[in-house]
Chains A and B, each alone.
Chain A
Amino acid sequence: MADIQTNLATNSPVNAEPVEMLLNMGPQHPSTHGVFRMVLWVDGEKIVDVEPHIGYLHRGSEKLCEGEQYHQVITLFDRLDYVANFNNELVYCQAVEKLMGLEVPERAEYVRVILCELNRIASHLLYVGTIGLDAGAMTPTMFAFRGRERIQSVFEAVSGARMMHNYFRIGGVKEDLPDNFEQLIAELLPPLREDVEESDRILTFNEIFLTRLKDVGTIGPEEAIDFGFTGPCLRGCGIEYDVRKAHPYSIYDRFDFDIPVGLDGDCWDRHWVRVQEMYESLKIIEQALEQMPGGEVVSSLGRRLIRPPAGEVYMRAENPRGEIGVHLISNGTDRPYRLKVRPPSFCNLSAIRRLLTNSWIADSVVILGSLDIVLGEVDR
């Protein structure tokens, strides 16, 4: 008996220092959204510290841009945020157009906006599916993917590819929409709205989903700005900042839409903002379809070899994940001299350590999911 007692006294974990365990999450973890790696120091189920590791998907996109002609760079931009290809193509094309002072035909602008907003919905639907999986619900994924599939088949009809479209051109788009586009989109929108509503209904106000996401990963507006948050992550904190409204580009000033904002800046608010944004995008698409004029879809200058004048330009746009910025320097040749991308996911991801410290292991998955990163864009 005495032996046991001394044993207990010496080996008792109660008196010992808290033992931290090093848990390697990723790059092959099912819920790190790609090849993202987090090294977690955990005390039981609590996260004490985090060290994020990025770069597993680094392809040197920015450097590759310097070796390609201006039109060829579009394909590289497709591969940055590979679930929002059109939005990426748009910001690059606009940067070059701004540098050249190129006028884009009206119809092309409308085509671009419609496709970009469709792509925003597709991207957010993907997000709804993945946050559902992260929180442990399988069914919303399928519901969301059904809507995404519908959008992608329209994309396929328009550009010939379901992803990596390479459809936008400097000065317009590659070719006019297919003849049956109006019929396609008329068949797309009503069921798409249903899909969005359905995935919203099954997840957003689910009691367990709320318990998992509400008051988890909370970040205040000042801190969010300090971290460089943009997009739904920033709007989730209650700040009404959307590049489409704050610095209107393309023809976004012609549409009537709202900017949904959250209240508390937690995971659920970010989720809610994204869901509401899908409804706003649907609004924009409907307005754009009504206003869309006929005519050319690409300016004659855009068909030639592009040689912008020497100079530099910065163009920003609202991607599904936040503000994407392109800083382009031209030296007058047919290739960019330097091209720097400000990726929204990368900046949003920078807060991961602040958000995860003192949370639970299970929360780390949900918080990462609510930031909605795409590694192709983070690593470039």
Chain B
Amino acid sequence: MQPFVPPLAVGLVEVIWMVVGLLAMFTGLSIVVLSLVWLERKALGRLQLRLGPTRTGLFGLLQPVADAVKLILKEDVIPSSSERAIFWAAPVIVALSAFMIWVTIPATEGLVLRNLELGLFYITAFAVIGILGLVLAGWGSANKYGVLGGLRSAAQLISYEIPVIMVVVAVGMLAKSLDLRVIVAAQEQIPYVAVLPLGMVVFFIAGLAEVGRTPFDIYHAESEVVGGPFVEYSGAHWSVFFLAEYINTFAIAALVVLLFLGGWSWPFDTAALAWLPSLPDIAWLGGLLSVVWFLIKVYSVILVVFWIRGTFPRLRIDQLMAFAWKAMVPLSFYAIVITGVYLFYDWPAWTLTLMSLTGLVVVGYIVYRRMMEPARRIAEIKARQAAQMAERRASRQAS
């Protein structure tokens, strides 16, 4: 007979290690956010013919620090008619869900706070909690724009949660695990972007919507709902939302890399580097190099996110929902079905690539058709105008 062990029994040392780990994660993520703020301002500036920040430190590197100091020193205004408790709790909920996701996201084989066998399940589950915070923030601030933004965020984020989860399921089927380390290990030979390109596209687009980035920044649209749920927030409270938004963006980019771009696995066989004599065989150095490689991949994905932000206008809420339910959700189900067929019949990997590319091409063709429709109209107008002009010239010459 086994002795009874309480389910939550943990040793003191373990608790201390957990606290230290969480603090390290918090610090690391804060630094990441600072770097992202700088990178976004600089990248957007370059896209928009501007320089971006230049005055604070070298290349304006200290600009995010200055921003943070300013935000913390600012007066924290709480509207008198707001629900005080909810108003206070909302940013905490949003930030909590953003941070909790990172508990199980590995930066490399060994660098993870607590690897879970159901890691992906945990991530998708915690990502949804942020929605609650946004809705509460909108409602608690007793502002109509806030309420509109909060409800928009609920509709948008819950709709786009479905394609995200479905694609995650497809990836889990491929790797036969929800453990992120196992998923990365399964991509050692060939990253899943080559096997399931459709999944990557759907995941990336739905991920953009999940974190409310352009062209899906509808719930905090500056020109419509003036910041949405954040409209009444200022100072430190607002900066918590800001922090959560960037951490979420980083998380989505990291997930894209982990699920589809092979995580920290090198594009070549590391054994090929064995001839290098200067490379000392130290375990932590190899780990560090993998982390750097992983970060390079994540930051590249993030640069794409910024690039999209610098290029596209914003969709309308009904168009956004239509896109979710008419394009994203069917596509994600299609990804599951083709993955299932591929696994069941044990076909070679290129068949899945082919099937998933077929899906992409079909969607691409539909989008192309829709894009060409106004162009055809313009051609019509141009033809009509040319006819008018010719007529006018003829009459001028006749008179």
Contacts and interface: CB of A to CB of B under 8 A. Distances in A.
B215 interface: yes
B320 to A, nearest CB: 10
B354 interface: no
B377 A263 contact: yes
B313 A206 contact: yes
Interface stretch (B18-26, B124-132, B171-179, B221-229): B221-229
Interface stretch (A73-81, A178-186, A210-218, A293-301): A210-218
Contacts of A209: 313
A365 B385 contact: no
Contact of A31 (B223, B317, B377, B388): B223
Contact of A136 (B50, B145, B148, B217): B217
B84 interface: no
Contacts of B313: 132, 135-137, 203, 206, 208-209, 212
Contact of A30 (B44, B226, B367): B226
Contacts of B221: 136, 362
Contacts of B50: 142
Interface in A306-340: none
Given A146-B49, A205-B374, A211-B319, A135 B381 contact: no
Contacts of B311: 137, 139, 202
B144 A207 contact: no
B375 to A, nearest CB: 7
B332 interface: no
Nearest to B311: A139
B313 to A, nearest CB: 4
Interface string B355-399: 000000000000100110011011011000100110000000000
Interface stretch (A93-101, A151-159, A161-169, A254-262): A254-262
Residue from B152, B215, B371 with most neighbouring chain A CB atoms (10 Å): B215
A253 B44 CA distance: 45
Contact of B385 (A133, A138, A143, A260): A260
B371 A210 contact: yes
B214 interface: yes
B48 A208 contact: no
A361 B148 CA distance: 10
B215 A362 contact: no
B358 to A, nearest CB: 22
B316 interface: yes
Given A45-B148, A45-B318, A132-B313, A205 B47 contact: no
Contacts of A211: 315-316, 319
B381 to A, nearest CB: 6
B114 interface: no
A23 B144 contact: yes
Interface string B309-327: 1111111111100000000
Contacts of B218: 362
Nearest to B145: A23
Nearest to B367: A207
Interface string B214-241: 1101100111111000000000000000
Interface residues of B, number: 42
A268 B381 CA distance: 13
Contacts of B222: 30-31, 136
Nearest to A137: B313
A210 B47 CA distance: 22
A82 interface: no
A137 B218 CA distance: 12
A313 to B, nearest CB: 31
Nearest to B152: A45
B394 to A, nearest CB: 15
Contacts of A361: 148, 224-225
Nearest to A32: B223
B240 to A, nearest CB: 23
A31 B224 contact: yes
Contact of A208 (B224, B312, B318, B381): B312
A262 B381 contact: yes
A363 interface: yes
Contacts of B309: 138
A134 interface: yes
A373 B48 CA distance: 25
B375 A135 contact: no
Interface in B28-45: 44
B223 A134 contact: yes
A227 interface: no
A49 to B, nearest CB: 16
B309 to A, nearest CB: 8
A139 B47 contact: yes
Nearest to A198: B49
B312 A206 contact: yes
Nearest to A132: B313
B316 A363 contact: yes
Residue from B145, B152, B226, B316 with most neighbouring chain A CB atoms (10 Å): B316
B380 A365 contact: no
Contact of A362 (B317, B367, B375, B381): B317
Contacts of B317: 45, 360, 362
A366 to B, nearest CB: 9
Contact of A135 (B314, B367, B378, B385): B314
Given A135-B314, A263-B380, A272-B378, 13 more contacts: A23-B144, A30-B226, A31-B223, A45-B152, A136-B222, A143-B48, A208-B314, A261-B381, A263-B377, A362-B218, A362-B224, A362-B314, A362-B317
24 contacts: A21-B144, A23-B145, A30-B226, A31-B224, A132-B313, A135-B223, A136-B314, A137-B312, A138-B44, A138-B48, A142-B49, A206-B313, A208-B215, A210-B371, A211-B316, A214-B374, A258-B385, A261-B381, A263-B380, A360-B316, A361-B148, A361-B225, A362-B316, A365-B223
Interface of A: 21, 23-24, 29-31, 45, 132-139, 141-143, 146, 202-203, 205-212, 214, 240, 258, 260-263, 268, 272, 360-363, 365
The 10 closest A-B pairs by CB, nearest first: A136-B314, A135-B313, A142-B48, A137-B313, A31-B223, A362-B316, A136-B313, A208-B313, A209-B313, A139-B310
